[in-house]
Amino acid sequence: MNYAIEKITTLIGARRIGTADAQIRWLLTDSRSLCFPEETLFFALKTARNDGHRYIDDLYRRGVRNFVVDSQFVADKTVNDKYPDANFLKVTSPLAALQRLAERHRDEFNCPIVGITGSNGKTMVKEWLYQLLSPEMTVTRSPKSYNSQIGVPLSVWLLNEQTQVGLLEAGISQPDEMEALSAIIQPTIGVLTSLGAAHQENFRSLDEKCSEKLRLFHGAKVVAYNSDDVVFSLFIISLV
């Protein structure tokens, strides 16, 4: 699906600098993955190790003309002079803007969406389901293990007019991360694979981690899980 840059500006609540027309089909957070610059919207994400704003010059030289940037990114006149035919969408948080755009895109679809989470086995279960469903249905699934705060919105963006079912992973490493992923995926069917030691150092107990993972399924109609697991069973009952 294509979105006009004007619509994206409204959806993410940005302040737009630039007036160039553009139709966006691809979202980019890693400059090394650029394929179709004219239809790409680059999100300049800041992490503990890097800052996407560093790559704007290079991406502009390579043909990208649409950028989501931090609201503190240079003065408006400097932007207009240095990048005369580009659009800069200024937001408080490029990551939050990426997640919000994916959430609004998800709202466009009424097909079954399977949300898969757990300590281990998410990608394997997703690929099993894909092999079972794809011969008869058009399935959109998370690429590789795209299940993080960045990977989930990029996965949801792949939903399109041909999608009949979505298979989307959600992974967390600390408390309070699942709320954003749940709002983006909005699963109608949930799959809980396992509960193990991964990232346990960031949670006070196994119960806390289980409760956090299950936040993904608050709007789901069906949840598949291992009923032999006592922790799973107790928390699943609390959702009913």
pLDDT in tens, the chain (240 residues): 899 999 999 999 999 999 999 999 999 999 999 999 999 999 999 998 999 999 999 999 999 999 999 998 888 888 888 999 999 999 999 999 999 999 999 999 999 999 999 989 999 999 999 999 999 999 999 999 999 999 999 999 999 999 999 999 999 988 989 999 999 999 999 999 988 766 677 788 877 888 888 899 988 999 998 877 766 666 665 654
- Which domain covers residue 145, as residue numbers? 109-239
Q: Based on the domain organization, do 149 and 230 belong to the same domain?
A: yes
Looking at residue 235, which CATH number applies to its domain? 3.40.1190.10
- The dihedral of CA 212, 152, 59, 6: what is its sign? negative
Q: Based on the domain organization, do 119 and 45 belong to the same domain?
A: no
Q: What is the pLDDT of residue 116?
A: 98
Boundary (domain end) residue, out of 63, 94, 125 = 94
Single-letter amino acid, residue 103: E
Q: Based on the domain organization, do 87 and 121 belong to the same domain?
A: no
Q: What is the pLDDT of residue 205?
A: 82
Domain count, the chain: 2
Q: Based on the domain organization, do 89 and 113 belong to the same domain?
A: no
Beta-carbon contacts of 140 under 8 Å, excluding residues fewer than 6 positions away, are 158, 159, 160, 163, 165, 166, 167
pTM above 0.75, yes or no: yes
Angle between helices 206-214 and 230-239 (to 10 degrees): 40
User: Is position 104 within any domain?
Assistant: no
Q: Based on the domain organization, do 49 and 7 belong to the same domain?
A: yes
Q: What is the pLDDT of residue 231?
A: 67
Q: Based on the domain organization, do 90 and 120 belong to the same domain?
A: no
| Residue 116, CB-side half-sphere exposure with 13 Å CA sphere | 23
User: Is position 55 within any domain?
Assistant: yes
Helix (H) or strand (E) run with residue 27 in it: strand 26-28
User: Is position 127 within any domain?
Assistant: yes
b/e burial code for range 191-219 (CB count within 10 A of at least 16 → b): bbbbbeeeeeeebeeeeebbbbbbbbbee
Q: Indicate the DSSP class of residue 50.
A: -
Q: Based on the domain organization, do 120 and 218 belong to the same domain?
A: yes
Q: Based on the domain organization, do 230 and 147 belong to the same domain?
A: yes
User: Is position 103 within any domain?
Assistant: no
Q: Based on the domain organization, do 148 and 199 belong to the same domain?
A: yes
Looking at residue 35, which CATH number applies to its domain? 3.40.1390.10
Q: Based on the domain organization, do 127 and 54 belong to the same domain?
A: no
Q: What is the pLDDT of residue 114?
A: 98
118, 197 contact by CB (below 8 A): no
Q: What is the pLDDT of residue 79?
A: 86
Boundary (domain end) residue, out of 71, 94, 117 = 94
Q: Indicate the DSSP class of residue 150.
A: T
Phi–psi pair at 76, nearest 5 degrees: -55, -45
Q: Based on the domain organization, do 78 and 130 belong to the same domain?
A: no
The 3 state secondary structure assigned to 77-106 is HHHHHHCCCCEEEEECCHHHHHHHHHHHHH
